[in-house]
C-alpha cells in the first residue's frame, strides 16, 4: 500500500477514485500523472509555498532559537530607545517649579543676615584690657570689648574706652589665636583706638569697608561682638537715623555724626563692626543709650561712621 505525501492538498482516497473511474485513453492523449514521491522528501512541500515558509516548516530546532534571540534583542533595543527619549526630554516650567519647591523644603538656604555675618566673622576679634593688681601684682581683667581687622597685617579698630586705662591689651582672633597688642593710634573725638597685634594668623582676612554716603534709614544692619564677653554674637536691626549726637554719661565726651541703629548691643559690643547685608563695615559700634543705671540695651545704639574710623589709621577717604 502506497503512503501519501505529507503535504498533499487532495485526500488520497478521492484522488484514487478519480483515477479508477476515468475511461481508458486509447489515443494516449491523457496527461501522465505526476510521479509519486517518497514520504518525508523535501520535494513533498507544495510547489506554490514560498521558499521562506519551506525553511521555517522544516524540522530544525536551531531556527526557533534564532527567532527567539531576534525577538529578545528587538525588545531590548526598543527599551533602550524609550529610556533615551525619557532621559532627554525637555524640562517644562512645571518640572523646574517642582525642583525648586523640593529644594526649598529640604535644603534651607542661609538668611541674608547669616551670610553677612559669616563674611565678616573671620575679621572680628575679642579685645581685652588688663591691669595689674596693686597688692598682688596679678593681672586683672579691666574690660572686654570687640575689634575688627581692617588691614591684614594685624591692624585692628576698636573703641578707645575699651583700652584707655589698660596696662596691657590682648586680642583673640576668630581661629582662637591669642596675641598681645599695642595701641598705635587714637582718635579721642570719635572714641576710636588703633591696635597692632604682635602675632597674627597665617590666613588673616581684613574686613571690607563701605562708605556711609548712600546709607539710608530703614536699611538692615548687623552688629557682631562680645556682649558681656559672650561671643562672637550676632544681632540684626535697621538703621534708625543718621547724623545723631551722643554724650557719654561717664566722661561727658560728645560724639557727633553717629549712625543710630536698633540691632541689640550691650557692654562688650563696643568696638565691634556694624555691617550691611553685603558684609561690608559701615561703622564701629561705640555706645548705647540707656538713661537708667542698668547700662543695658533699650533699642538705641550708636556707631561711628567708617569714614571717621578709616581716617584714624590714615586710610584715604572713600
Is the C-alpha dihedral spanning 151, 165, 199, 272 positive or negative?
A: negative
Report residue 205 as a C-alpha cell.
Answer: 582676612
Query: How far is Cα 273 from Cα 265, in angstroms, rounded to an integer?
Result: 11
Reported as half-sphere exposure (CB side, CA atoms, 13 A), residue 281 has a value of 30
Task: Spot the catalytic one: 161, 233, 235, 240.
Answer: 161
Catalytic residue among 142, 179, 191, 235: 191
Kindly compute the dihedral angle of the four CA atoms of residues 28, 29, 30, 31, in this order, to the nearest 10 degrees.
110
Cis status, amide bond into 79, omega within 30 of 0: no
The set of residues, in sequence order, having a beta carbon less than 8 Å from that of 19 and lying 6+ positions away, is: 33
Is 250 tagged catalytic? no
Active-site hit among 123, 179, 233, 270: 270
Residue 44 · residue 36 · CB < 8 Å: no
C-alpha cell at 24: 481508458
Residue 146 burial (10 A CB sphere; 0-12, 13-18, 19+): buried
161 noted as active-site residue? yes
Q: Residues near 139 by Cβ (< 8 Å), separated by ≥ 6?
A: 130, 131, 132, 133, 168
| Catalytic (active-site) positions | 161, 191, 270
Amino acid at each position: 500500500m502506497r503512503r501519501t505525501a505529507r503535504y498533499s492538498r487532495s485526500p488520497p482516497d478521492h484522488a484514487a477514485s478519480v483515477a479508477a473511474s476515468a475511461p481508458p485513453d486509447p489515443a494516449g492523449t491523457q496527461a501522465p500523472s505526476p510521479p509519486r514521491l517518497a514520504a518525508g522528501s523535501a520535494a513533498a512541500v507544495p510547489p506554490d509555498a514560498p521558499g521562506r515558509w519551506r525553511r521555517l516548516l522544516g524540522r530544525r530546532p536551531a531556527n526557533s532559537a534564532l527567532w527567539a534571540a531576534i525577538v529578545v534583542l528587538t525588545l531590548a533595543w526598543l527599551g533602550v530607545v524609550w529610556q533615551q527619549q525619557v532621559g532627554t526630554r525637555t524640562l517644562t516650567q512645571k518640572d523646574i517649579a517642582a525642583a525648586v519647591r523640593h529644594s526649598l523644603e529640604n535644603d534651607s538656604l542661609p538668611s541674608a543676615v547669616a551670610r553677612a555675618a559669616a563674611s565678616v566673622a573671620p575679621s572680628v576679634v575679642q579685645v581685652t584690657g588688663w591691669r595689674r593688681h596693686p597688692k598682688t601684682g596679678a593681672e586683672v581683667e579691666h574690660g572686654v570689648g570687640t575689634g575688627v581687622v581692617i588691614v591684614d597685617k594685624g591692624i585692628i579698630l576698636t573703641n578707645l574706652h575699651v583700652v584707655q586705662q589698660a596696662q596691657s591689651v590682648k586680642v583673640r582672633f576668630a581661629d582662637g589665636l591669642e596675641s598681645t597688642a599695642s595701641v598705635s593710634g587714637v582718635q579721642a573725638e570719635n572714641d576710636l583706638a588703633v591696635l597692632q597685634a604682635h602675632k597674627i594668623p597665617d590666613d588673616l582676612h581684613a574686613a571690607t569697608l563701605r562708605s556711609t554716603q548712600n546709607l539710608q534709614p530703614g536699611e538692615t544692619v548687623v552688629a557682631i561682638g562680645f556682649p558681656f564677653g559672650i561671643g562672637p554674637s550676632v544681632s540684626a536691626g535697621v538703621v534708625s537715623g543718621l547724623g545723631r549726637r551722643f554724650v557719654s554719661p561717664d566722661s561727658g565726651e560728645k560724639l557727633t555724626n553717629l549712625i543710630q541703629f536698633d540691632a541689640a548691643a550691650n557692654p562688650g559690643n563696643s568696638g565691634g563692626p556694624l555691617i550691611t547685608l553685603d558684609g561690608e563695615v559701615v561703622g564701629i559700634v561705640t555706645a548705647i543709650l540707656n538713661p537708667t543705671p542698668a547700662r543695658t540695651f533699650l533699642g538705641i545704639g550708636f556707631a561711628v561712621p567708617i569714614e571717621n574710623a578709616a581716617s584714624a589709621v590714615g586710610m584715604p577717604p572713600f
